[in-house]
Amino acid sequence: MKVEQIYTGCLAQGAYYIESNGEVAIIDPLREVKPYIKKAASRNAKIKYIFETHFHADFVSGHLDLAAETGAVIVYGPTAKPGFKAHIAKDEELFTLGTVTIKAIHTPGHTMESTCYLLADENGKPKAIFSGDTLFIGDVGRPDLAQEIAADLTQEKLAGFLYESLHHKIMPLPDDIIVYPAHGAGSACGKNMSRETSDTLGNQKKTNYALQPMSKEQFIKEVTEGLTPPPAYFPQNVKMNIEGYQSIATVLEHGTKALAPEEFEAAANETGALMLDTRAPEVFAEAFIPNSVNIGIDGNFAPWVGALIPDIKQPVLLITDDGRAEEVVTRLARVGYDNAIGYLKGGMKAWKQAGKETDHIESIPVEELSRRLQKGSGMHFLDVRKESEFEEEHIKGALNVELDYINDQVNKVDKNETYYVHCAGGYRSMIFNSILRSRGYDKLINVQGGYKAIQQSGRFETTAAPR
């Protein structure tokens, strides 16, 4: 028996490859399915099942393409009603995979169809549980997402279901089984996830706050307290996972169309497409196409796209580093942004050679920021980190405008004032600057290295929330 976790850091997502005696099951596959197919083929194995733990909100799963290419059976848990052919498992239904078995355990709470899959070896001994968003390492799934499907499913009611699922279905299982969740730290599907991506159930019973002895009422309070609004794209991803979507091959064909500068400019004017520049923040700052938005590919790209581009169906034109257009289109498709219509052939070099207009954002190191401060002129600091990060420590007098909620908080920013903008390390601040630049805010100056560099310099007065 072979069990492999295939972890994707950008989404903090774990898919799983299970193989026994030439038969394979894939759990919660990503949108691009070729790697799973290649892995099975290289081992002379056949993909038999595609198990989905629930209708995912934070990414579009690859179940449809994988089933179409391999003939594998898509399996969902009880109560799931997908708009395509799938096997709807009964609670505790057993599936044979080579010499091992996989049992579906219905665990409503995160969503009503949420189901964990218990893997047992050839002797029937439980070895691992693939817990989806029901149980994370250090946390449990947030119980407020299914409200998008049914208004009567309050987060309190779902949290109550989750309590019952954990206490009656999961916690009685052997302590030595391995918990393999769908997500780790960085995912918006929970609030307190560990950076570890697996653990024994026994250790989680000791260390996971949500598995400690408490009443159902106390559990509901603990799990629902401190939840921030989910990203806007979550309901749209759920819809795609339930109803279906176009093949990733089709998405790639459209999105990787190379457009010369004149064609790119015409497409931008004719379609109203968003120009998305995925180069590194500091490279973007030096020269970019006016009104383009920077979300660097070498960061938490897909989640930030989902959080900041409200219309999942909006046409997108891409400015990328050489040779990375396909990667960008693929990562957009992971979160349902299937309407990329092409990329700038030759990148910014070709744009400049064609004599096209460019813009830039002033971006300065901390040393220069310190020199300006010493001159004695008043300086306005704009911190775009999360409120929790800001409260932990920040430059005294800084204004906090969270990038996550830029559209709701942008009215705090005075267009006529000069602001020195920073995040933790420089990635988010350039996203923020580019968005506001496209809206006419031309007095924002980026601080390279973010708060980390500011803190290390020791040149600025900071303050922290009382502990």
If asked whether residues 69 and 8 sit together in one domain, one would say yes
Higher pLDDT, 232 or 263: 263
Position 306 scores a pLDDT of 92
Q: What is the mean pLDDT of residues 75-91?
A: 97
Residue partners of 23: CB distance under 8 A and separation at least 6: 45, 46, 48, 97, 98
Position 466 scores a pLDDT of 61
If asked whether residues 330 and 435 sit together in one domain, one would say no
Q: Look up the pTM and report it.
A: 0.92
**Confidence check: pLDDT of 465 > 90:** no
**pLDDT bucket at 459, cuts 50 / 70 / 90:** confident
If asked whether residues 194 and 133 sit together in one domain, one would say yes
If asked whether residues 288 and 401 sit together in one domain, one would say no
If asked whether residues 270 and 148 sit together in one domain, one would say no
The domain boundary residue, chosen from 237, 262, 290:
237
Domain assignment present for residue 135? The answer is: yes
Helices and strands in the chain: count of H runs, count of E runs: 17, 24
- Count the neighbouring beta carbons within 10 Å of the beta carbon of residue 142: 26
Task: Yes or no: say if 95 and 101 are a contact pair by the CB < 8 Å rule.
Answer: yes
List, edge to edge, every strand of the sheet that includes 73-76.
2-8, 13-20, 23-27, 46-51, 73-76, 87-88
Q: What angle do CA 304, 278, 6 make, to 5 degrees?
A: 60
Task: Yes or no: say if 194 and 151 are a contact pair by the CB < 8 Å rule.
Answer: no
**pLDDT bucket at 32, cuts 50 / 70 / 90:** very high
**pLDDT bucket at 150, cuts 50 / 70 / 90:** low
If asked whether residues 143 and 22 sit together in one domain, one would say yes
Could you tell me the CATH number of the domain that includes residue 311? Answer: 3.40.250.10
Domain assignment present for residue 358? The answer is: no
Domain assignment present for residue 439? The answer is: yes
Could you tell me the CATH number of the domain that includes residue 36? Answer: 3.60.15.10
State the average pLDDT for the chain. Answer: 95
Position 149 scores a pLDDT of 57
**Confidence check: pLDDT of 377 > 70:** no
Domain assignment present for residue 130? The answer is: yes
pLDDT digits (tens, 9 = 90+) for 133-149: 999 999 999 999 875 55
Domain assignment present for residue 298? The answer is: yes
Position 54 scores a pLDDT of 98
What is the number of domains present in the chain?
A: 3
What share of the chain in percent tops pLDDT 70? 98
If asked whether residues 335 and 404 sit together in one domain, one would say no
The domain boundary residue, chosen from 171, 203, 237:
237
Domain assignment present for residue 114? The answer is: yes
Q: What is the mean pLDDT of residues 54-78?
A: 97
The secondary structure of residue 288, as a DSSP letter, is: B
**pLDDT bucket at 239, cuts 50 / 70 / 90:** very high
If asked whether residues 212 and 137 sit together in one domain, one would say yes
- Count the neighbouring beta carbons within 10 Å of the beta carbon of residue 272: 9
If asked whether residues 212 and 107 sit together in one domain, one would say yes
Domain assignment present for residue 293? The answer is: yes
The domain boundary residue, chosen from 353, 378, 413:
353
Q: Please state whether 441 falls in left (phi above 0), alpha (psi between -120 and 50) or beta.
A: beta
DSSP string, 97-139: ETTEEEEEEE-TTSSTT-EEEEEE-TTS-EEEEEEETTB-SS-
Domain assignment present for residue 124? The answer is: yes
If asked whether residues 226 and 84 sit together in one domain, one would say yes
Domain that holds residue 421: 363-463
**pLDDT bucket at 464, cuts 50 / 70 / 90:** confident
Higher pLDDT, 243 or 458: 243
If asked whether residues 302 and 405 sit together in one domain, one would say no
If asked whether residues 98 and 229 sit together in one domain, one would say yes
Task: Yes or no: say if 297 and 281 are a contact pair by the CB < 8 Å rule.
Answer: no
pLDDT winner (highest mean) among 227-231, 382-386, 460-464: 382-386
